[in-house]
Amino acid sequence: MLTLPVRQLGESERRAVERLLDLDPYAGAQVAERIAARGLAWWRAEGRVLGYGARRNLESICWLGGNLTPVLASEPAVTAFAEQLSGEERLCSSIVGRADAVLGLWDRLSGHWGPARDVRPNQPLLAADAPPPVAADPQVRRVRGTEVDRLFPAAVAMYTEEVGVSPLAEDGGRGYRRRVGDLVRAGRAYARFADGKVIFKAELAVVTRRTAQVQGVWVAPEWRGRGIATAAMAAVVRDALSRFAPTVSLYVNDFNLPARRVYERCGFRPVGTLATVLF
């Protein structure tokens, strides 16, 4: 029998939640950004935060929205979260977080929520806290507000290649286009153009006071193998460190050896392992 049941957290416990998120600033970055912007009230945050632990000793949390993300989830917490969630309909499109917690949740939830479209059990989580030791590509720059139409096809290609489904399928791409536009307006989208087309792109998809998390890294297929990615990423990392946060982080599929070599050259170091379950 569980002695510490899961409960939904509210704004009164925000400081305790923020203290936990500070203990895992990279794996919990997406949750930290959302809570910093919208708090813990579910009607504002578009998600719920579940807590595990005594009221005066919060041990673990789990964000439940478009994604399901456990943070600092011990084995007893994973068991308790799974017991709570197994009675609910799956609404999230993925489970993502530290590998031990994600795979533990999926082991317990797969019978209720399965099948998954894909399980990626080993995604190195990397971080850098200094400018890269390699030269930055001067042609990589922030995307201007007038260039969203030029960036969007590359963003769709990256998403489809990475996730395995097109972002246009859900609503014709309207929601995804809004997201791309928001990142451009926030100065968090980078690209290199050649002959009017995007040949490299990356975004700071998550920004907290602790880290800027890079996602959506993509090189046009006809430009791959030419060695442009390292200098391009170096430009992104330098700008992110100067404008947004004291560290830059990202995660990558373990089988993507070319990308891992690029990140290593740019000074990224391992800080953990994530896993993702895609529906």
Q: Is the peptide bond before 25 cis (omega within 30 degrees of 0)?
A: no
The answer to whether residue 129 sits within a structural domain is no
Structural domain containing residue 22: 7-115
Q: Say if residues 213 and 250 touch (Cβ distance below 8 Å).
A: yes
Whether 81 is covered by a domain: the verdict is: yes
Question: Tokens 């930290």 sit at which residue?
Answer: 32
- In this structure, the strands spanning 269-278 and 212-219 are unpaired
Q: How many domains does the structure of the chain reveal?
A: 2
Q: For every one of its 279 residues, what pLDDT tens digit does the chain have, with 9 covering 90 and above? A: 445 689 999 999 999 999 999 999 999 999 999 999 999 876 776 789 999 998 788 999 999 999 999 999 999 999 999 999 999 999 999 999 999 999 999 999 999 998 999 999 999 999 999 999 999 999 999 999 999 999 999 999 999 999 889 999 888 889 999 999 999 999 999 999 999 999 999 999 999 999 999 999 999 999 999 999 999 999 999 999 999 999 999 999 999 999 999 999 999 999 999 999 999
Q: Which of 130, 123, 118, 92 is nearest to 27 (CA)?
A: 123
Kindly state whether residues 146 and 232 are assigned to the same domain: yes
In a domain? residue 108: yes
Are 144 and 238 part of one and the same domain?
yes
**Which of 75, 99, 115 is the C-terminal boundary of a domain?**
115
Q: Are residues 146 and 251 in the same domain?
A: yes
Residue 104 maps to a domain: yes
- Among candidate residues 81, 98, 115, the one where a domain is terminated: 115
Task: Please indicate, yes or no, whether residues 260 and 198 belong to a single structural domain of this protein.
Answer: yes
Whole-prediction pTM: 0.92
Domain boundary among 81, 115, 149: 115
Q: Residue 179 falls within a domain, yes or no?
A: yes
- Could you read off the pLDDT of 124-163 as tens digits, one per residue? 999 999 999 999 999 999 999 999 999 999 999 999 999 8
Whether residues 83 and 35 share a domain: the answer is: yes
In a domain, 276, yes or no: no
